[in-house]
Structure 1
Amino acid sequence: KNINKDFFDDGTMSFFWRAHRISALIIFILVLLYVTLYDDATNNSDYNTKRGIIAVIISFVVFGVTITPDGPFRRPHPALWRLMLVLSIVYELLLIFVLFQTADDARLLLRHIDPGLGVPLPEKSYGGNCELYDSSRPDNPFHNVKDKMDSFVAVHFFGWWTKTLIVRDWWLCTVTSILFEVLEYTLEHQLPNFSECWWDHWLMDALICNGLGIVLGMKTVKYLSMKTYHWRGLWTYPTYRGKFSRILKQFTPYIYTDFDWRPTQSLKRWLSMLLIVAGILICELNAFTLKFVLWVPPSHFLCLARLVLFIFWGAVSLREVFQFLDDPQCHKFGAQSTLAIAIMITEVLIAFKFDWNTFTKPLPPHVINMLLIGALALIVWTLWHFYFQ
């Protein structure tokens, strides 16, 4: 998809682009020698256990970054994307460990990260009084709208801006945004946080926050697609201003690949697109279910950390999936996309194991009817388009 792109690279490779496995190994051994010879041992088993686990994770990350192969992205540095791959492995291993615990033990484990965790959380419901204009409050008639304007409005907007940069398709993003609002309707009997007013669903979320984020995202995609990519080594720029500009450009794409998903080109591609949409929805849903079963406040840094990591993982995963679908020479499913699927499935299993009663509550009849109608329409259209048209 890079045909006719204005692209040039002079091939300059600096010190920072070369492999440094020997250097990393020497530094690693020196650190171990220091810990062995000079670090004072303590009799605090809890402290030693925590420090040992952290050391194991850091060691795994260091070796992983130096020996794993490069991914599809080169900017700002391939090592960053190798780091993201290794962190996804660490996260999946931690999820598997949590899966083998009880719900109470898993919540207690989080207290080692933050002593304030491990206590039940009050779920905020955004439903209740759904009047847009409350005439009984002439001093503040729009208080219902103001009450629902919190920090998550900005999260919605910037979240969908980044999702659009990852997916690079207006229709796919818009359909996914609408389907998630439908998913909130479907599961509001299980998660009180999903109980919102109609205008909160469709005006504030789908139309304003998500919609504007998607529009800005597509504007950014269009700019990146039309931009020229001419790369020269840093030291080929004669002025400091040119060098500084080159450093900033290091954080832009090496070359931008347009995603032409063509969902209706074939049945295989159509089913693949349905799975991609389902994967995005599950990833979004897991953010709510995990904090619900593990008692993590929405504003906690763990929720933000997961969100940021999934931005990186999602970017690589969608790039790998697109190449797998679009490139006839690509016969292997990507490593990052494989791990992303494993992570999402493990998160779902944790949610069901820790709160089976909540997530197996029967769906209301009107929700069942809505889902059946939607599924039937999807099946009928698929058969008609690919077999009878």
Structure 2
Amino acid sequence: MTKPESKKSGMAMATGKCASTAVSEELINNGSVEPALSPSCQEQGTPTKPRTMKQMSRESLSSRRNTECEVFDDGTNTFFWRAHTVTVLFILTCALVYVTLLEETPQDTAYNTKRGIVASILVFLCFGVTQAKDGPFTRPHPAYWRFWLCVTVVYELFLIFILFQTVHDGRQFMKYIDPKLGVPLPERDYGGNCLIYDPGNTSDPFHNIWDKMDGFVPAHFLGWYIKTLMIRDWWMCMIISVMFEFLEYSLEHQLPNFSECWWDHWIMDVLVCNGLGIYCGMKTLGWLSMKPYQWQGLWNIPTYKGKIKRIAFQFTPYSWVKFEWKPASNLRRWLAVLGIIFMFLLAELNTFYLKFVLWMPPEHYLVLLRLVFFVNVGGVAMREIYDFMDDPKFHKKLGQQAWLVAAITVTEFLIVVKYDPNTIMLPIPFFIMQCWILGILLILTWTLWRFFIRDITLRYKETRRRKQEVPADRDRPLGNGSTSTPSGRSKLNGSSEPLRQRKS
């Protein structure tokens, strides 16, 4: 395990003596205060050396990092950051020796099968945590994100295994995970009586609202708060939030769980839960973009308050990059943003359809574990997608976590299609189909106008403008009162030069 901060700290500390002596005493005490230049540096300025062509080319290639916060790091390499590959290998070997020589193997075949699968997964996780490739995130520790990368691989392999089983065997296989599974469960209908104030119920006329206030309300808020931290864009979050409600309207004939009251859709979900989560997420993003990223070794901070603050900041990002999606800048980014929105919506739908086809109740811990899994891998995947879109010269291939998340989303959908094709193929109501066709046509029309028709029109207007400027340049009087000759040459102050050279 290497320490990725050492490279960044070397770049940050190589900015000259002025920048290194600019850290105030408060930074030394707390380790989290923005450094300021000393008065001598502010007045005199730091002498700059002429930059080589290689340095200038690197700066031009890294122009996309103009929104990344500057990082100060003293480069302290503590025990927390050192490689422990030999230690992990020794502990793993001792555990295997204990199981082989000292522990008596039970005679239960099913138990031994489960234990062997779990042991195989744990060995793979140990290998991945120590040897896997680092991702874009380093806090709280690179090993944490390598762990979730290996969990992603294990989950995708599990989905592939389920996909290759028959419908009956796949559902009964879930009993090996939890004996309570493998039994069809009725879906809860959130629709029905949609009166906000029910005068027929004198004891509690607002019972419809209280019935909808279950554990999924804070889950909606927390989920959209985390999604906002992943996407880092207000417009994309609102579009995904509203589009999912339209999907629930469109697919409530397939899953009764999608049937909700109108005020449950637009007031409780979009405005209260999702809207409040997006608002808090945007406020957190603003704080992270303004926060100074200055790191000191824990033992270099003299005060206990500074040590506690440094430990708390270990769970914040090492640096910050503001996402600027710019979907209308070119066709490639527009199609990429549409693909991101589509994959987000598909992953959301998979949450409901998977528990429906695999007979898992909504409150089961496997459903919760899947959401926790996507919380930890979604942020890394979005950062890798943004890097892939923003600078293909640096990132010529899609990131490993983004690739796996896309594969998992598609595999989950294929499981849903295989296990219950009748539900998926239920005909959509005609008026809903008309709405979706109209929306798709509007998107296609805007795409054609923005990236094809508009560009052709602008090029045609520019060509006409240039053609109109050429006769005007020929008839324009020169400095000695004469006009330009058809040959394109004239004399000005006793010298002759071509007309195109004077224009340039």
TM-score, reference length from structure 1? 0.98
What secondary structure does 2:189 align onto? Answer: coil
User: Is 1:79 matched up with 2:143?
Assistant: yes
Q: Does the CA-based 8 Å contact 2:140-2:314 persist in structure 1?
A: yes
Match of 1:380 among 410, 421, 445: 445
Selected match of 2:155 from 62, 84, 91: 91
5 Å-filtered alignment, 1:228-243, equals 228-243=292-307
Q: Which residue of 2 aligns with 1:362?
A: 427
Match of 2:397 among 324, 332, 346: 332
1:24 aligns with 2:88: yes
Judge conservation of contact 2:129–2:143 (CA < 8 Å) in 1. yes
Find the partner of 1:260 among 311, 320, 324.
324
Is this contact kept in 1: 2:68–2:319, CA < 8 A? no
Partner of 1:243, secondary structure, is helix
Match of 1:306 among 370, 389, 409: 370
Give the deviation of 1:368 after TM superposition.
0.7
Instruction: Tell me: higher relative CO, structure 1 or 2? Use CA pairs within 8 A at least 6 residues apart.
Output: 1
Structure 2 distance, partners of 1:125, 1:199, is 15
Superposition pairs of residues 188-227 of structure 1, within 5 angstroms: 188-227=252-291
- Give CA-to-partner distance per residue, 1:170-214, whole Å, 9 cap, x none: 000000000000111111111110011111111111111101100
Query: Given that residues 156 and 209 in structure 1 are in contact (C-alpha distance below 8 angstroms), is that contact kept between their aligned partners in structure 2?
Result: yes
Query: Structure 2: how far apart are the matches of 1:273 and 1:194?
Result: 26
Q: What is the distance in 1 between the residues matched to 2:421 and 2:234?
A: 36
Asked if structure 2 preserves the Cα contact closer than 8 Å seen for 1:2 and 1:258, the reply is no
SS state at 1:16 partner: coil
Partner amino acid, structure 1, of 2:416? A
Map residues 1-389 of structure 1 onto 2, 5 A cutoff.
1-3=65-67, 5-327=69-391, 328-389=393-454
Shift in Å at residue 28 of structure 1? 1.3
Q: Percent identity?
A: 54
Shift of 1:6: 4.5
> Equivalent residue of 1:200, what SS?
helix
User: Which secondary structure state, in structure 1, belongs to the residue aligned with residue 139 of structure 2?
Assistant: coil
Structure 1 unaligned residues grouped into runs of 5+? none
Query: Deviation per CA, 1:103-137, whole angstroms, max 9, x where unpaired?
Result: 22222222222211111111011111111222222
Q: CA deviation at 1:139?
A: 2.9
* Counterpart amino acid of residue 379 in structure 1: L
SS of corresponding position for 2:80:
helix
Say if 2:67 and 2:322, in contact at 8 Å, map to a contact too.
Answer: no
Matched residues, number: 389
RMSD: 1.1
Distance 2:204 2:70 in 1: 55
Deviations 1:10-59 (A, max 9, x none): 11111221222222112111111111110101211111111101100101
Q: Which amino acid letter does the alignment assign opposite residue 319 of structure 1?
A: R
CA spacing shift, 1:110–1:2, aligned 2, 3 Å: farther
3-state SS in 2 of match to 1:313: helix
Q: Name the larger-Rg structure.
A: 2
Alignment check: 8 A CA contact 1:119 1:295 kept: yes
Task: Give the Cα separation in 2 of the matches to 1:41 and 1:386.
Answer: 67
Q: What displacement does 1:7 show?
A: 2.5
Write the deviation string for residues 127-152 of structure 1: whole angstroms up to 9, x where unpaired: 11111222222332221111111110
Post-superposition offset of 1:5: 2.6
Moved more, 197-206 or 3-12: 3-12
Measured at CA, do residues 3 and 277 of structure 1 come closer, stay the same or move farther in structure 2, by a change above 3 Å?
closer
Shift of 1:2: 4.9
Q: Using the alignment, how far apart are the partners of 2:128 and 2:446 within structure 1?
A: 46
Asked whether the equivalents of residues 73 and 81 of structure 1 are also in contact (C-alpha less than 8 Å), the reply is yes
Greater Cα offset, 4-13 or 79-88: 4-13
Is the CA contact (8 Å cut-off) linking 1:117 and 1:296 kept in structure 2? yes
What letter corresponds to residue 237 of structure 2 in structure 1? C
- How big is each residue's C-alpha offset from its partner over 1:313-348, in whole Å with a ceiling of 9 and x where there is no partner? 110000000011112422111000000011011100
CA distance in 1, matches of 2:67, 2:370: 35
Task: State the SS of the aligned residue for 1:76.
Answer: coil
| Structure 1 counterpart of 2:269, one-letter code | D
SS at match of 2:148: helix
Secondary structure, aligned partner of 1:34: helix
In structure 1, what is the Cα distance between the partners aligned to 2:389 and 2:163? 32
